[in-house]
Amino acid sequence: ANALLALKPLWELDGTGGLPAQFMNVARSVAENEVLKEKLLLAFASPELVKGLMLSGFTTDAVRNALRYVQEMGFEVDTVRGCKFLCDPDDAEGYCAFCRIKADAGEMERVRIKMPVINIPHTASRDRLKGKVFVHYILTPNLLTRAHRGVVFVENVDELPSETAESIAEVLAAGRNYVEGEDSGIDVPCRFTIIATMGSPDGEVHPMLLEHMSALVKYDELDALRISVRAERYARVFSESPESFA
């Protein structure tokens, strides 16, 4: 909003009477984010039904912004204060060692946090992705555990290294993150929805990941029309009253 208001003096100095091209670009971007946000609500509202969502035709920036918008709409999860694995307080069988100790001592405190949305970089090592066992019973911080009961976003999933794709698929299939150490292993709950984009229309997704994609969301002519209509509406409101638009 502040950036748009900053454009107003330039627009007035221009004297052409038309809206600046910079604003129309911003308006179209915001409209695309909102259209995609509405499509993503399905995955956030019904994670038990939608295990994976493939997006096609939307820009990466639109996907990232839409995910942030949805997260800020109030989607939250209950967990245990101090738990690094986002355990569900109502799922005693899925407690990590920390939560079991807290429950046995009657010291479990419920807290509510935003649903996690975790980006998976293509360069992530297996240790960074799944963690490793430290001192027999401690699992080091990792991306997939942080995504428990939330969303994992993978950009250009068709270009994801095979080892990374297989690691994600294994956790998706089991609903748990198992990490084996030298003398012992750690097994913690790890359930999430994966949302991915394609780098190329002709790209191929690893078969183990592809089987977890429940739905395909494509950018179509109706989406293009909705984006154009919303962008024009924003332009009209901005031209009449930039302050009220912000």
What does the pLDDT profile of the chain (246 residues) look like in tens digits?
555 556 555 555 444 445 556 677 777 888 888 888 888 887 677 767 778 889 888 888 888 888 888 778 778 889 999 988 889 999 888 888 889 999 999 999 999 998 899 999 999 998 899 988 877 667 787 999 999 988 999 999 999 999 999 999 999 999 989 888 777 778 888 999 999 998 887 889 999 999 998 888 888 888 888 888 888 887 777 767 666 655
User: Residue 153's pLDDT is what?
Assistant: 92
Place of tokens 């046995």: 104
Cβ neighbours of residue 45 under 8 Å, at least 6 residues apart? none
At 48, which amino acid appears? E
Within 10 angstroms of residue 207's Cβ, the number of other Cβ atoms is 10
C-alpha span between 16 and 177 (Å, rounded): 60
C-alpha span between 202 and 1 (Å, rounded): 38
C-alpha span between 138 and 213 (Å, rounded): 32
User: Residue 16's pLDDT is what?
Assistant: 44
Judge if pTM exceeds 0.75: yes
User: Residue 11's pLDDT is what?
Assistant: 53
User: Residue 15's pLDDT is what?
Assistant: 45
Cβ–Cβ < 8 Å for 222, 228: no
Helix/strand/coil for 218:
strand
Class of residue 218 by CB neighbours under 10 A (exposed 0-12, middle 13-18, buried 19+): exposed
